[in-house]
Amino acid sequence: MNKKKNRVKLDISDKIIRVFGYIFVTIYALACVFPFLLILGTSFSTEAIVRIEGVQLFPAEFTTFAYEMILKGGTIWGSYAVTIIMTASGTALGLSIIAMTGYALQRKDFPYRNIISFYIYFTSLFSAGLVPYYLLMTQTYKLKDSYLAVFLPLLMTPWLIILMKNFVKAIPHEMTESGKIDGAGDFKIFISIILPMLKPALATIGLFLALGYWNEWYQSSLFLSSRVTYKPLQYNLYEVINKIQSLKNSIAAQYITLDDMPTETLKMATAMMSTGPIIFLYPFIQKYFIGGITIGAVKG
């Protein structure tokens, strides 16, 4: 009742804004999805029709040929295995380290917290650049063609640790105090009192980490040469798009000449398979991202 009374009548300006809003947001949202539909449609088309008519929103001739070729003999399963193992273990390991560090650095009675925070933060202010990093990884650490060269650098970023610190800040220091009074050690306090309260933080930061691993192609492009058979998914996609030989390797195509190979539709099908899991998952995980962004956005 009260609410209705307070409601102000809409005047013409509101209606204009609203109508404009619906139209504009609809167009923009469709523009966000459209390129994906183009890939989806083309991946189910025959190569012949793509070469004549161009990419297909609705395939004029429907076929699952490209998918069959990829699934039958290629490297995609190996790529899936590499990416899934890295994503799962990297997220778990990175998240544990970030959570521990974030908590310790937020403890007011920890005398080294400022200096360690600065030590970590400084790395995002000043970096040696690509060449020293590349030479260190390949010559000193000897990580050329090693999955570790891809796995390790993605474990954490200064920004994610700061984000974790901001989440921890919201937990009152009294929680730690009460643990101390009960005689628990710092690690026990962290595990049994703090960690359960950090669930939203773990979800958000875990998603950022997982997304980083799933979408990783950069470290792979630096350190994984053709001697590595199974590349992470996105770098596999990169090679399929950019190197015709990799495209050939990605399918069991010993008997097909390059001319007969359905290059375009194969690229699209590989793209769909590399991105598919994220696209299907993301409506469910979106809300965690939104929570994380709004907390971490300004102080990042």
Partner 1 sequence: MKTIANKLDRSSVITRKKRGFFRNIVRHKTLLFMCTPAILFFFAFSYMPLPGIYVAFVKYNYRGGIFGSKFVGFDNFKFLYTSGKLFDLTRNTILYNLAFIILGNLVAVFMAILLNELRAKYFKKVSQTMMFLPYFISHVLVGLLVYNLLNYDYGFVNSVLTNLGLERWGPYSNAKVWPVLIVLIQLWKDTGYSSIVYFAAIMNVDSEIIESARVDGANGFQKIRYIILPSLKPTVIILLLFAMGGIVRGNFGLFYNIIGTNPMLYRTTDIIETYVYRATMTDFNFSTASAVGFYQSIIGFAMVMICNYVVKKIEPDYSLF
Binding to partner 1, residues 21-80 (CB under 8 A): 21-22, 24-26, 28-33, 35-36, 38-39, 42, 50-51, 53-55, 57
Number of residues that make up the chain: 300
Tokens of 220: 């792979």
Contact segment (CB under 8 A) with partner 1 among 69-77, 83-91, 149-157, 195-203 equals: 149-157
Measured between alpha carbons, how far is residue 296 from residues 92, 107, 165 in Å? 21, 19, 10
Task: State whether residue 45 is helix, strand or coil.
Answer: strand
Pick the closer one to partner 1 by CB: 85 or 289.
Answer: 289
- 13, 29, 282 from 16: Cα distances, Å: 5, 20, 33
The position carrying tokens 């025959």 is 46
Q: Write the single-letter amino acid at 206.
A: G
Closest to partner 1 by CB, 69 vs 240, is 240
Cα dist. 291→137, 200, 211, 271 in Å? Answer: 36, 8, 16, 29
- Cβ neighbour number for residue 69 with a 10 Å cutoff: 20
Q: Rounded to the nearest whole angstrom, what is the least distance from the CB of residue 64 to partner 1 in the complex?
A: 19
Candidates 17-25, 80-88, 244-252, 254-262; binding stretch for partner 1 (CB under 8 A) = 17-25
The tokens of 4 are what?
Answer: 């209705």
CB of 254 to partner 1, least distance (A): 26
Measured from the CB of residue 117, what is the shortest distance to partner 1 in angstroms?
9
Binding mask 201-240 for partner 1 (x = CB under 8 A): ----------x--xxxxx--xx-----------xx-xx--
Applying CB under 8 A, which of residues 20, 58, 62, 77 lies at the interface with partner 1?
20
Question: By CB under 8 A, which span of 64-72, 80-88, 101-109, 252-260 interacts with partner 1?
Answer: 101-109
Amino acid at 16: I
| Piece of 61-69, 83-91, 108-116, 244-252 that binds partner 1 (CB under 8 A) | 108-116
